[in-house]
Structure 1
Amino acid sequence: MSFFRLPIGLCTDIQKVIAEFWWGSKKEKRHIHWAKWDRLCKAKGMGGMGFRDLTCFNQALVAKQGWRVIHFPESLMARVLQARYFKNSSFMQAKLGSNPSFIWRSILWGRQVLQNGMRWRIGCRQQVKIYQSRWIPRLTSFKKFSRATLPVEVTVSTLIDKEHKWNEILIKQHFDHEDAYKILKIALPRALEPDQMIWTYDKQGRYVVKSGYQIAMSLKFKDQPSSSTASPTEWNAI
């Protein structure tokens, strides 16, 4: 599960066995399943039972291989994949290509999780583009909300003055109040460091399967209704 995308049918069969055990079903006697499996897979704080959806868990595990390609580019695996699939681009922009291997298909499937949980940490500021890159710390999206008033290709370095501080006047001039507040809260490094892709749901910026699983769940179950009255605190108390 950490390297390959398991067939959906296999995950479904395993989940059926777990569900039958949970509801007490046997070959000679079937019991009623009182709730859908996707509802049982919700976290307890959201009214579920915390069972793992195997497809989403599989995707979160495979995403770790993509994380290693990004942060360990000198490894044998990363160099082989780059030579075969993305010679002239980065891993995040790589495409499926012609006649791809099963492991490359699996890694690109896991990359969907990374694309929804990674953002740039500002360093030398030469790679991060203001309007195209994901760099503003915001949980729903890491891009700006403001209308573009600067050249499209301009980088974040434009927003920093000679004293290595945010140019507050320029930021407030070109961004709305919410975006400006988020940008000014970003801590700039004391020494010049390269721009780095980090996992936004971890304090140290490293990919964590637990939070990756939550991203995979949100991708699979996008538009589920939720209770308007009960809070996670109340569910946790129960």
Structure 2
Amino acid sequence: MSVFKLPLGICDDIQKVISRFWWSSNAEKRGIHWARWESLSQAKQKGGLGFRDFASFNQALVAKQGWRILQFPDSMVSKILQARYFKNCHFLNAKLGFRPSFIWRSILWGREVINRGIRWRIGRGDQVEIYRGNWMSRPLTFKLVSLPSLPIDVTVSELIDDDNQWKVGLIYQHFVKEDADTITRIPLARQPTADQVLWHFDKKGNYNVKSRYQVALRITLEDSRGCSN
């Protein structure tokens, strides 16, 4: 479950076994399900019992592989995957590619969780695209609301001057006030540093199972509701 996307049928079978154990008084008789599994799999602070939705848990675990690619780009695995699938772009923008392996398909599936919970800490701003990057402190999109008025692939570095300060005039010229106010409040280091990826739902920016499972569960619920409409 930490490496591959398991078939939904397997995840459903596991949940059925747990559900029968929880609701049935004996192995012979099928009990009454007094609450939907969707409700039970919510966190306790949200009114659930903290049970695992196994498809969501699987996605949250697989997402760890993508996080390792972001954190350790010089590792052997990261370099092999980069050479095969995203040689000319960042991992967050990588496509499925031609004849992808099942591992790569699984990693991109897990990346959906990463994209919902990460944002960039701006250093030089040269790795973060203004309009497509996750860099605004605005869950769950972390993106601007302003319509593009600059080239679509321009990076945040274009908004920072030689003294590593925000170009306030340029920012208020090209972005709506809501975005401009948010951007100019983002602290910049005195000396330019590399941009850093953070997990937004942790105070220290660390990637933890509990919060990424909740993000994966939200994705699963959104997909199921979309299919039912």
Q: Aligning the two structures, in what range does the TM-score lie when normalised by the shorter sequence?
A: 0.7 to 0.9
Matches within 5 A, 1:17-96: 17-96=17-96
Shift of 1:113: 0.8
TM-score (norm 2): 0.88
Residues 127, 223 of structure 1: alpha-carbon distance in 2 compared, 3 angstrom cutoff: closer
Q: Give the RMSD, CA atoms, in angstroms.
A: 2.1
Q: Tell me whether 1:159 sits opposite 2:159 in the alignment.
A: yes
Is the Cα contact below 8 Å between 2:117 and 2:140 reproduced in 1? no
Which runs of no fewer than 5 residues in structure 2 stay unpaired?
none
Q: Comparing 95-104 with 7-16, which one deviates more in the overlay?
A: 95-104
Which residue does the alignment assign to 1:118? 118
- Structure 1 residue ranges (4+ consecutive) displaced by more than 6 angstroms after TM superposition: none
Residues 156, 98 of structure 1: alpha-carbon distance in 2 compared, 3 angstrom cutoff: closer
Q: Tell me whether 1:203 sits opposite 2:203 in the alignment.
A: yes
Q: Distance in 1 between matches of 2:44 and 2:101?
A: 38
One-letter amino acid of the counterpart of residue 31, structure 2: H
Shift of 1:20: 1.4
Q: Distance in 2 between matches of 1:195 and 1:134?
A: 12
Shift of 1:61: 0.8
Residues 91, 150 of structure 1: alpha-carbon distance in 2 compared, 3 angstrom cutoff: closer
Residues 25, 109 of structure 1: alpha-carbon distance in 2 compared, 3 angstrom cutoff: farther
Q: Distance in 1 between matches of 2:117 and 2:63?
A: 11
Q: Distance in 2 between matches of 1:153 and 1:164?
A: 21
1:30-89 alpha-carbon deviations (Å, 9 max, x no partner)? 211111111111122222211111111111111011111122122121122222222233
One-letter amino acid of the counterpart of residue 194, structure 1: A
Which runs of no fewer than 5 residues in structure 1 stay unpaired?
226-238
> How many residues are matched?
225
Residues 181, 223 of structure 1: alpha-carbon distance in 2 compared, 3 angstrom cutoff: farther
Q: Distance in 1 between matches of 2:103 and 2:223?
A: 30
